[in-house]
Copies of this chain bind each other. A is one copy, B any other.
Amino acid sequence: MNVCTNTIKDIARLAEVSHSTVSRALRNSPLVKAETAERIRRIVEEFGYRPSAIARSLATRRTKTIGVVVTTIADLFVAGVVTGIEDVASDHGYSVFLANSNADPDREVRVVASFEERRVDGVVVTASRVGALYLPMLSRMRVPIVLLNNQHPSEFAHSVMIENTAASREATRHLVELGHRRVAYLGDRYGQHCDTERFGGYRQALDVAGLPFLPQLVVHGDGRPASGRQAMARLLELAEPPTAVFCYDDMMALGALRQIHACGLRVPDDISVVGFDDLPIAEYTEPPLTTVRQPMRQMGHLAMQTLLLLLEGSESKHNIKVPGELIIRETTAPPNDRRQILKSA
């Protein structure tokens, strides 16, 4: 018996009731007599009937579907967030459409079009490198949108954001308190709002400590290891290299570690490194990485919970700030005054 050919009318015929009654029974309507409902459910079970969400969506004008846009899912932060989103979506009967934009404007246009055509009930945009027209295009859809670690968090819509500034300040202060005076910032040139805030926290910590801001100690990558390695190489070529580096994310910290080791320097003896994210691999770098934990999965939960609230008609603005947590492992230590000597070895 081909499941896909069964319709509500087939079940109605078998149960000797109208299809309206079957519909009610399936939706647990109190309007249907208990024993009738029971009989219907037995038949539904026996024939493996699955009501069509398509037809239901057309009738109810709700698809119980959300769209999730990411730049790429092949990123442990993004994947963690999406896991969190899907967790609660699934618990509430929502299915999720996943779309990668690849930071490509053409694909962004297609993603928006497909989400509109599929009549998703809501959208979450995660840590995307969005084109200029993208967010306005999305907002035109007239469905709730939640941004996660994205630009325009407050002006534009509802959002879930890590407390970038406070967390970065704390991470930098950790380095300063260890005695570092030359602390570099390895940023992400595509990091948009998050990069601005993390850089801001770094600056604040320097100010509070009365340390001068040295522009030559600020370098940028693209968020990935190779670029972190290159940026680190530039720092190490400086006449007076930093004794510590605060990185925009763990992946670039990974590249930085590689470059430091490739130069024959040691972490944390010669140079301290701090990351951001606390990816599952952070505990397994060599040495284990001091970093700022973002509760990625929980942030995904919050984003979906916010969307759910909006879908239930909440009118308020939702701008959630999630605290980061500094996880001190083994890439940070007091500066070694002999570093210059070792380097020449």
Taking Cβ atoms with an 8 Å cutoff, the residues of A that contact B are 2-4, 48, 50-55, 57-58, 63, 65, 68, 72-76, 79-80, 82-83, 86-87, 90, 95-100, 107, 110-111, 113-114, 116-119, 140-143, 224-225, 229, 251, 254-255, 257-258, 261, 280-281, 283-286, 288, 297
Cβ contact within 8 Å between B86 and A79: no
Question: Quick one: which of B50, B65, B80 contacts A74, CB cutoff 8 A?
Answer: B80
CB < 8 Å neighbour of A285 from B52, B96, B286: B286
**Once the chains bind, are A225 and B79 in contact (CB under 8 Å)?**
no
- Known: A53-B117, A53-B119, A258-B286. Is A74-B142 also a contact (CB below 8 A)? no
Report copies per complex: 2
**Complex-state Cα separation, A225 to B282, whole angstroms:** 11
B83→A74 contact, CB < 8 A: yes
Asked if B83 and A284 sit within 8 Å, CB to CB, the answer is no
Q: B58 contacts A82, CB within 8 Å?
A: no
* A57 vs B53: C-alpha distance when bound (angstroms): 11
Taken together as a complex, chains A and B put the C-alpha atoms of A211 and B52 apart, in Å, by 59
Among A107, A111, A119, max chain B CB count under 10 A is at A119
Q: How far is the CA of A114 from the CA of B2 in the complex (A)?
A: 17
Contact B281 A257 (CB under 8 A): no
CB distance from A120 to the nearest CB of B (A): 10
A143 to B50, CA, bound (A): 14
Q: Which residues in B have their C-beta under 8 angstroms from that of A113?
A: 50
Contact assessment for A95 and B95 in the assembled complex, using a CB-CB cutoff below 8 Å: no
Q: A74 and B63: CB pair below 8 A?
A: no
CA distance A127 to B299 in the complex (A): 26
Q: Report yes or no: B283 in contact with A54, Cβ–Cβ below 8 A.
A: no
Give the docked Cα–Cα distance between A12 and B2 (Å): 38
CB < 8 Å neighbour of A110 from B3, B90, B288: B90
Q: Can you list 16 pairs linking A and B with CB atoms under 8 Å apart? A: A3-B141, A4-B143, A50-B116, A53-B114, A55-B58, A73-B83, A83-B100, A86-B98, A86-B100, A90-B99, A95-B97, A95-B99, A96-B97, A254-B281, A254-B284, A258-B283
Residue of B nearest to A74 (CB): B79
Partner of A54, one of B48, B118, B143, B258: B118
Residues of B within 8 A of A283 (CB): 225, 258
Distance in angstroms from A21 CB to nearest chain B CB is 20
- A192 CA to B258 CA, complexed, in Å: 34
CA distance A258 to B140 in the complex (A): 50
State in angstroms the CA–CA spacing of A73 and B80 once bound together.
8
Would A261 and B286 be within 8 Å (CB), given that A54-B54, A58-B55, A73-B73 are in contact?
yes
Q: Are A86 and B99 in contact (CB under 8 A)?
A: yes
Known: A50-B113, A54-B58, A254-B284. A98 touches B119 (CB 8 A): no
